Structures are given as C-alpha cells and as structure tokens.
Amino acid sequence: MTHVLVLNGPNLGRLGIREPDVYGAQTFEDLAELCRETGRELGLSVEVRQTDSEAELISWLHEAADGRIPVVLNPAAFTHYSYAVRDAIAQRTAPLVEVHISNPAAREEFRHTSVVAAVATGTIAGFGLQSYVLGLRAIAGAKE
C-alpha cells in the first residue's frame, strides 16, 4: 500500500473557525478524516499533518523526498513567498500535488502567484475540501 503524506501549512488547523465564508465550516479533523477515508478507497495509506512552522514543513518535505513518499500539499500562505518551501519541493522524488481550498486566482492580488507551482507535479484549487480528494486521486493515478 502506497504511503502518502497530506501536508498543510499555516492556519489550516483553524478550519471551521477561520473565515468560514472562504474556507467553509468543516474542521481540520473533518479534512483529515476525509483524506484518510479517500485514501482507504484508493488503496493508499494517508497520513495528515498540519503546521504553522515553515521549518517543520520543510522537514516533512525532506522526509518525503528521502523516502520517495508522494505528497498532497496545501502550503497555505507559504505558497506566495516561501522560496525555502519551493526549494524543498524541488527535491521531490515522488509526485507532489499542490492543493488549495479556495481559488487563489479569484482572491487578492498577492495570492495570484504561487512560487511552488512550477516544482509541483500539478495544482488543484477552488473545490473546497474536495481539492484534497482530487489531489489524492491524482496521486493514486500518477506514474511518475
């Protein structure tokens, strides 16, 4: 069974509380359970993590690269400015799908640029928590 890391950046642990008009009313635990359930359906072993720390996220990305572990990643605010996260993703050795709950291109101007998109396998955005389901499906079907 393929092990997959679902990694989440800053403020995503506050789902359900933080801007529910943008991110919905479901909690982070709801997201984690959805990912684990989707993984079971797809024959994937899914581990869901969240951090507000850039250093911790980079460590997890290094762990994934070293272990050839596929990743579904919502880098959150790091999407727009973290070249350190981008450089960690560039070291990937398995598929990595960038996901976003909202559509950054339909939001504030500063959210329109993703510094990580160019080193990800692909990007899925704007489908709420279903973005993660689509990301996991992409990982399950990836031949990289």
Catalytic residues: 23, 100
For residue 8, the number of C-alpha atoms closer than 13 Å in the C-beta half-sphere is: 19
Structure tokens, 90: 């560039």
Q: Is there a binding annotation on residue 102?
A: yes
Asked if 50 contacts 8 with a C-beta cutoff of 8 angstroms, the reply is yes
Beta strands 122-125; 44-50: pairing state: unpaired
Q: Is there a binding annotation on residue 87?
A: yes
Q: Is there a binding annotation on residue 18?
A: no
Q: Is there a binding annotation on residue 62?
A: no
Secondary structure (3-state) at 98 = strand
Chain centre distance of CA 53: 15
Q: Is there a binding annotation on residue 131?
A: no
Q: Is there a binding annotation on residue 80?
A: yes
- Torsions phi, psi for 6 (to 5 deg): -110, 105
Q: Which residues are annotated as a binding site for substrate?
A: 74, 80, 87, 101-102, 111
Q: Which residues are annotated as a binding site?
A: 74, 80, 87, 101-102, 111
